[in-house]
Amino acid sequence: MIRKLNENDRKITINFLSKQAAINLFIIGDIENFGFDSEFQEVWGSFNKENNLNGVLLRFYENFIPYYEDENIDIDGFKKIIFSNKNAKIISGEKSIVDNFYDVFENSKEKNSYFCEMVSSKKLLSWSNSVKIASKNEAQGVYDLIDTIKEFKDSLNPTVKQLVRKIEDKSGRIYYIENENKEIVSVAQTAAENSKSAMVVGVATREDYRNKGLLSKCLSRLCNDLLNENKTLCLFYDNPKAGRIYHRLGFETIGKWTMLIKE
């Protein structure tokens, strides 16, 4: 049986999703921030014969994220919900799950990234006072750095206003290192933070400051602080060079994240 979830279902839903907090980072964060039923967000649950929750489907604007523990759920029911929404543009999630939704869109393109998780600080490096936590006053400097990174040129990068909002509403944080001229030259960030997990994003070092270990120091302090808050850390990557840095610090690949984008 599939039905819409509501506020009365919050506890069982978060408990169900928290068994894989990294994979479900976006769903958990969106529920914590926006609840179960708004103009831009809806949540459905699949229940087995014993009335236990065994699957969740979230709509955030035009993006749908399905999650379930096994395939003994009404996948076709989830598909019908997405298909009936004329504004549906994206289905995203763990690859083995999204693979069952290819027939929802008549034409779509696929984008895959490696999905990594960190649960231990054992491999993190030591850092010095050079690694600082950004306030809204550093948002412009962070933006200026990201704007110079050629690897990010084709990405939809956050504006200064969005960086400020992230810092103010605590949906993410920014750690940075600056040079002797007070210019930010290396940065590591999080986004989609919730009570269980956080996504590492926007990791970058200015080209003329690379290969000095600055990025590893930023990441090490960022990850250490979040792990001390009992949050699971996760990230996406598709760049093998970046992947080597992440793995060296203790991130482990746990799967692939797939986006099906309607054409």
Query: Is the separation of the CB atoms in 227 and 65 below 8 Å?
Result: no
What's the pTM value of the predicted model, to 2 decimals? 0.82
Residue 239 has pLDDT above 90, yes or no: no
Instruction: Return the pLDDT at 103.
Output: 96
Return the pLDDT at 37.
84
Cα dihedral value 11, 172, 130, 244, nearest 10: 80
- Check residue 152 and give its pLDDT: 83
Nearest CA to 150 out of 205, 222, 86, 192 is that of 205
**pLDDT tens for each residue of 127-174:** 989 999 999 999 999 999 999 998 888 777 899 999 999 999 888 999
Confidence band of 260 (pLDDT split at 50, 70, 90): very high
Give residue-wise pLDDT tens across range 98-113: 999 999 999 999 999 9
Q: What is the CATH number of domain 117-257?
A: 3.40.630.30
Domains 2-106 and 117-257 share a fold: yes
- Residue 45: pLDDT above 80? yes
- CB under 8 A, 24+ apart: contacts of 170-173: 171/29, 171/33, 172/198, 172/201, 173/133, 173/134, 173/222
Q: Are 238 and 152 in contact (CB under 8 A)?
A: no
Whether residue 12 has pLDDT greater than 90: yes
Between 197 and 66, the higher pLDDT residue: 66
C-beta separation of 41 from 47 below 8 A: no
Across the range 12-22, mean pLDDT stands at 94
CATH number of 2-106: 3.40.630
pLDDT at 28: 94
Going from N- to C-terminal start, the domains of the chain cover 2-106, 117-257
